[in-house]
Amino acid sequence: MAMTLEQISLEVLGLPTKHRAILAEKILRSLDEDETTTGNMEALWQEEAERRWRAFQEGTAKCRPADEVLRDLRASLKGQQ
């Protein structure tokens, strides 16, 4: 019986962080290999970057100092080891 996308997602999210990162890299690499997807992905990222920039300029984006973000990221990565 084939697994649904939801079932696969639950399985993947249950993997250790390192394994999820490896799988994510493989999936992203597979998308880069598909030329039709690559152009579409670039357009989607461009739209997302523009949306985020507009939100920043309008003052509607939640912003945090970079040193705070990096400190929190390092702490969360330490906790996953």
Pairwise CA distance, residues 23 & 15, whole Å: 10
| Joined tokens for residue 35 | 């030329």
DSSP state of 15: S
The per-residue pLDDT for 50 is: 97
Contacts of 8 (CB under 8 A, 6+ apart): none
pTM for this predicted structure: 0.43
pLDDT tens digits in sequence order for the chain, 81 residues long: 688 999 999 999 999 999 999 999 998 888 766 656 566 778 888 999 999 999 999 999 999 999 999 999 999 988 876
